Amino acid sequence: MKALLNWLDDRTGVRDFVHEALFERIPGGARWRYVWGSTLVFAFAVQAITGISLWMCYSPSTQTAWESVYFIQNQMQGGWLLRGLHHFMAHAMVVLMALHLMQVVIDGAYRAPREVNFWLGLLLMQIVLGLSLTGYLLPWDQKGYWATRVATNLLSVVPVVGPQLQQLVVGGSDYGHHTLTRFFALHAGLLPGLLVFFLALHVALFRRHGICHKQPAKGPDAMFWPDQVLKDAVACLAVMIVVLVLVAQPVNLFLSEHRWPIETSHLGAELGAPADPSNQYSAARPEWYFLFLFQFLKLFEGGGEQGELLGAIVIPGLIMLSLFLLPFLGRWNLGHRFNVGLILILFAGIALLTGAALNEDYRKLWTDPSKFAQLPEIIDEVGTDDQKIAAHFQNDKAKIDKFQEDLIAFEKYKKSKDYLEAVEQAETEAQRVTILASTETRIPVSGAITLLRNDPKTQGPKLFAARCASCHTYAEPAATQGDAQPAKEPAAPNLFGFASRAWLKSFLDPKHIAGPNYFGNTSHRDGEMVGFVNETLKDWPAEEIQNAVMALSAEALLKRQANEDQKDLSRIEAGRKLIADAERCVQCHKFHDAGETGSAPDLTGYGSREWLVGMISNPRHQRFYGDNNDGMPAFAEHPGDSPENMLATHAIGLLVDWLRGEWYEPPDGDTQIEIASE
């Protein structure tokens, strides 16, 4: 062994090298305050190790980036841990960098002869921030996609070359495959390469100058090994423990309903729903350490392009420049104090702006909504007319000011509420897509985004809100009582549970048919059906009505009701006879072979998928309401996917599936898919 070492040392001088690396003299002994630089090197080493492992599983393209990250996170052994370490160590690195910078400035380590090393440090900081920015996009989830878009869009305000610069960074005129390949090359190649290069210089210069030791010395000199190494190692251990706690997400686990078995999607770094340029994302925010820039830019709202340039590029650039000047400022008599003051003010400013950004987003959590209870009424009454406002408060200045103040607070409250709802919606979609991706059929080659786009549970409520909710409601009848009344009277029936037994039973109830949940606000209020329910049906035995309800509901073939439909076959048969009785329903309606269409909707297959698609496509058709149709538009009047149609067949299908409650739900328990691969 010794001979081998001698041989090697003879040819490489390895002993000298190790000696030099380890036996650096620390004047005044090892101290905790010297650990920050080492923890940063350690953090970078962790990023390199975890990063290379992630690299082996990551696939940068718009159809595979999210998918490969999903696979790492949820299907590969230890993937969530690896990704969590990489993610949270990046956060830790930013914090450690801030501490290191503060330490260096407070201890005056930027002064001669260490100016160049100070500049190298600032350069390294830029590189690390660049790594954070590029890494945020790589999972190609909604969060990273929209936040990074904002960042790259800001590039276009750079004078003269802005648009070209942006196009170069994005790899085209818009986000796509080449945005990912570029960001990935920057994140895993160029930036780490630069980092290693400048880090080597940084450490070499640090060794050349020796540690900038704190006066007065606490004790006798010591050596880097093992005294300072021990302290450094303990500090790194502390960093690692903090990161591991963040990875384990104890808060999430505690809040989660399904605590066991722990799903990997709840551990480590978050993965949002796949990026979708067509899906609004109101929860877009940069990572917390860039929030101050985000908030700072808001100060320039209304400043137009010049304002953006100032807030996003010029002022942050000048501040960065002033950091580079610290060594020169430090030469002045009071220069060091000035510098320390500057850095403290800078950090205080960052803290304040970050706090303000968080306050804007989360203020709903600590605002009592009851103090706005009266506001909507007053706003409805007075609007924004100053005179009316004055009249309302009898010209009481104090009251008017209070009202204006409340109004602003209310606006902020609503904004925060919208933001938090958007975050919740984003989390719902993220969970949903994970469920859909974990099925046996896995993710289609076209990408996970198609899973969400074809998911009735996700798209149904959106389509309903956009196309149906201006007339219809969709709410559990019990929920509409009490204070959750819809703001305005619905003009058409409540479609919650359409064609289910409960829905039909209430429909055939004189108490409800002319109410707001059914025909109350439609022209059918005075139609024959309401008359029939009020006058004729009340004489039917309850049992017969229930049989008819069961029979009609069975026409819908609702999957949710399949068990009941199976159980009540004989009653359904009795009900069918009632409906088809020439004296009853088929007087107006058609039902299978009995009755005629033309005067009232066909009850054959009532509420079935095919029936609903037809109804939404064209309610004016003879099969449905014909000339009695009350204002419901025909959403797909023309055959096929004609561009003249208001809704594509695919969208109507999604809407119908959602109304019928038909979408994929995982079997209880394990969502992990079987491990099989070629």
Partner 1 sequence: MSKPSQSSTRSGPAAAPPTPRRRFLTQAGALVFGGIVCLVPTLSGLAVLLDPLRRRSKAGKFIRVATLDSLPDDGLPRQFPVIAEHVDAWNRSLEPIGAVYLRRNPGELRAHCLTATCPHLGCFVNYDDESNTFKCPCHNSMFQVDGEMIEPSPSPRAMDTLECKIENEEVLVRFQNFYTGKTDKVAKG
Q: How many angstroms separate the CA atoms of 136 and 142, rounded?
A: 11
Task: Note whether 616 binds partner 1 by CB under 8 A.
Answer: no
CB of 430 to partner 1, least distance (A): 16
Task: Note whether 42 binds partner 1 by CB under 8 A.
Answer: yes
Pick 191 or 211: Cβ nearer partner 1: 211
Pick 68 or 645: Cβ nearer partner 1: 68
Check if the beta carbon of residue 446 is closer than 8 Å to that of residue 426.
no
Instruction: State the CB neighbour count (10 A cutoff) for residue 176.
Output: 14
CB of 442 to partner 1, least distance (A): 4
**Whether residue 510 has a cis bond before it, omega within 30° of 0:** no
Instruction: State the CB neighbour count (10 A cutoff) for residue 564.
Output: 15
Pick 82 or 435: Cβ nearer partner 1: 82
Pick 1 or 56: Cβ nearer partner 1: 56
Q: How many angstroms separate the CA atoms of 266 and 253, rounded?
A: 7
Q: Which of 9, 24, 509, 544 binds partner 1 (CB under 8 A)?
A: 24
Q: How many residues bind partner 1 (CB under 8 A)?
A: 67
Check if the beta carbon of residue 74 is closer than 8 Å to that of residue 57.
no
CB of 327 to partner 1, least distance (A): 12
CB of 47 to partner 1, least distance (A): 8
Q: Which of 13, 163, 189, 210 binds partner 1 (CB under 8 A)?
A: 210
- Stretch binding partner 1 (CB under 8 A), from 168-176, 233-241, 311-319, 496-504: 233-241
Angle between helices 335-362 and 397-437 (to 10 degrees): 80
Task: Note whether 53 binds partner 1 by CB under 8 A.
Answer: yes
Contact residues for 648 (Cβ-Cβ < 8 A; gap 6+)? 636, 641
Task: Note whether 52 binds partner 1 by CB under 8 A.
Answer: yes
Task: Note whether 557 binds partner 1 by CB under 8 A.
Answer: no
CB of 75 to partner 1, least distance (A): 7
Contact residues for 440 (Cβ-Cβ < 8 A; gap 6+)? 673, 674
Task: Note whether 613 binds partner 1 by CB under 8 A.
Answer: no
Q: How many angstroms separate the CA atoms of 432 and 667, rounded?
A: 14
Task: Note whether 263 binds partner 1 by CB under 8 A.
Answer: no
Instruction: State the CB neighbour count (10 A cutoff) for residue 647.
Output: 20
Q: Which residues, numbered 77-96, are part of the site for partner 1 (CB under 8 A)?
A: 77-79, 81-82, 85
Task: Note whether 335 binds partner 1 by CB under 8 A.
Answer: no
Pick 434 or 645: Cβ nearer partner 1: 434
Q: What angle do CA 611, 612, 617 make, to 5 degrees?
A: 100
Tell me 34's DSSP state.
Answer: G
CB of 92 to partner 1, least distance (A): 12
- Stretch binding partner 1 (CB under 8 A), from 38-46, 398-406, 481-489, 623-631: 38-46
Radius of gyration of the chain (CA): 34
Q: Which residue has the tokens 């818009």?
A: 174
Task: Note whether 25 binds partner 1 by CB under 8 A.
Answer: yes
The dihedral region occupied by 499, where left means phi > 0, alpha psi between -120 and 50, and beta the remainder, is left
Contact residues for 434 (Cβ-Cβ < 8 A; gap 6+)? 70, 74, 265, 271, 671
Q: Which of 116, 129, 203, 222 binds partner 1 (CB under 8 A)?
A: 222
Q: Which of 71, 183, 184, 532 binds partner 1 (CB under 8 A)?
A: 71
CB of 225 to partner 1, least distance (A): 7
Q: How many angstroms separate the CA atoms of 274 and 64, rounded?
A: 10
Pick 113 or 369: Cβ nearer partner 1: 113
Q: Which of 119, 198, 225, 372 binds partner 1 (CB under 8 A)?
A: 225
Q: Which of 190, 229, 315, 422 binds partner 1 (CB under 8 A)?
A: 229
CB of 103 to partner 1, least distance (A): 15
Task: Note whether 449 binds partner 1 by CB under 8 A.
Answer: no
Task: Note whether 242 binds partner 1 by CB under 8 A.
Answer: no
Q: Which amino acid is at 368?
A: D
Check if the beta carbon of residue 624 is closer than 8 Å to that of residue 607.
no
Q: How many angstroms separate the CA atoms of 157 and 169, rounded?
A: 14
3-class DSSP assignment, residue 672: coil
Task: Note whether 562 binds partner 1 by CB under 8 A.
Answer: no
Q: Which of 40, 170, 436, 443 binds partner 1 (CB under 8 A)?
A: 443
Check if the beta carbon of residue 196 is closer than 8 Å to that of residue 123.
no
Q: How many angstroms separate the CA atoms of 494 and 471, rounded?
A: 9
Distances (CA, A) of 100 to 33, 39, 122: 9, 9, 11
Task: Note whether 72 binds partner 1 by CB under 8 A.
Answer: yes
Task: Note whether 265 binds partner 1 by CB under 8 A.
Answer: no
Q: Which of 67, 287, 568, 602 binds partner 1 (CB under 8 A)?
A: 67
CB of 230 to partner 1, least distance (A): 4
Pick 81 or 420: Cβ nearer partner 1: 81
Pick 84 or 311: Cβ nearer partner 1: 84
CB of 27 to partner 1, least distance (A): 7
Task: Note whether 45 binds partner 1 by CB under 8 A.
Answer: yes
Is the Cα dihedral 120, 125, 131, 133 positive or negative? negative
Instruction: State the CB neighbour count (10 A cutoff) for residue 478.
Output: 8
Task: Note whether 345 binds partner 1 by CB under 8 A.
Answer: no
Contact residues for 71 (Cβ-Cβ < 8 A; gap 6+)? 57, 79
Task: Note whether 339 binds partner 1 by CB under 8 A.
Answer: no
Residues facing residue 25 across a β-bridge: 223
Q: How many angstroms separate the CA atoms of 665 and 70, rounded?
A: 19
Q: Which of 120, 147, 186, 236 binds partner 1 (CB under 8 A)?
A: 236
Instruction: State the CB neighbour count (10 A cutoff) for residue 96.
Output: 24
Q: Which residue has the tokens 């606490």?
A: 218
Please report, as ranges, the residues that interact with partner 1 according to CB under 8 A: 19-20, 23-25, 27, 42, 45-46, 49-50, 52-54, 56-57, 67-68, 70-72, 75-79, 81-82, 85, 108, 111-113, 207-210, 212-213, 220-223, 225-227, 229-230, 232-234, 236-237, 239-240, 244, 437, 440-445, 675-678
